Amino acid sequence: MTQVDVRQRILADNAAAAAALRARFADSRTLVMNLISSPGSGKTTLLEATVRALGGRLRLGAIEGDIATERDADRLRKLGIPAHQILTGGGCHLDARQVRGALDEHDLGPLDVLFIENVGNLVCPTSYDLGEDFKVALLSVTEGEDKPFKYPGIFSAAEVTVVTKADLMPHVPFQLEEVRGQVAALRPGGTLLVTSATTGQGIAEWCAFVEARLARKRAAGA
């Protein structure tokens, strides 16, 4: 029997693919966000509101990850932005090779901002770097305020947490200040935004955050 020292990251292939994507997005000066949340927390709806607000000023595109159906990509295409659907067929997360495959298969054109909407799941997507500039965690008020401490991995990895469906807050026992405290404890210095795509609350702040981060990336890369 022979012993061999390997000392290699298990996700080394994903890390290499993500690094290549990051270089590609630096070249194209595209800001890339990886949106992660539970199913049904409103990722696609937030993107629809974002496209309505920013679509006239910025070239936006989206990669949608779902187990089945083209529905999410269709919703965004209807609003006039290029969107590619990755069907994972049961896979619980996107990985960097799938994103590379999507971009190779479907030229989304020159983009200012690319949104990657991950498969609805608060656990597995956290481990896979997609070459994004940062992760965005979404939390709808109907999910309850204990989510950040129950899923600390994603809420400490996400640079920004977006609370969604804020218009429902009067109808559910959701303690916003509790969420604020939990997110601050997991991600000191992170950003928390409170939004409702239905009433438009907080959408301007979210869009301003996206534009500021795009400007920051372009200034750093200039």
Query: Rule CB under 8 A: which residues touch other proteins?
Result: 1-13, 86-93, 95, 97-98, 101-102, 104-105, 123-124, 126-127, 149, 152-153, 156, 184-189
Q: Of 75 and 100, which has the nearer Cβ to other proteins? A: 100
Strand partners, 135: 34
Task: Please report how close the Cβ of residue 211 comes to other proteins at its closest, in angstroms.
Answer: 28
Q: Min. distance of Cβ 169 from other proteins in angstroms?
A: 25
* Tokens describing residue 74: 């269709």
Residue among 13 and 172 whose Cβ is closer to other proteins: 13
82: helix, coil or strand? coil
Place of tokens 């950003």: 191
Exposure string over 189-210, b if 16+ CB within 10 A, otherwise e: ebbbbbbbbeeeebbeebbebb
Residue closer to other proteins, measured from CB, 156 or 198: 156
214: number of Cβ within 10 Å? 18
- Work out how close the CB of 91 gets to other proteins at its nearest, in angstroms, rounded to a whole number: 3
Which residues partner with 62 through β-bridges? 83, 115
Query: Cβ closer to other proteins: 12 or 219?
Result: 12
Which residues are paired to 160 by β-bridges? Answer: 136, 191
Closest CB to other proteins among 3 and 222?
3
Q: Please give the structure tokens belonging to residue 48.
A: 């629809």
State the minimum distance, in angstroms, from the CB of residue 14 to other proteins. Answer: 8
What is the smallest separation between the CB atom of 192 and other proteins, expressed in angstroms? 14
Phi/psi of residue 55, nearest 5 degrees: -60, -30
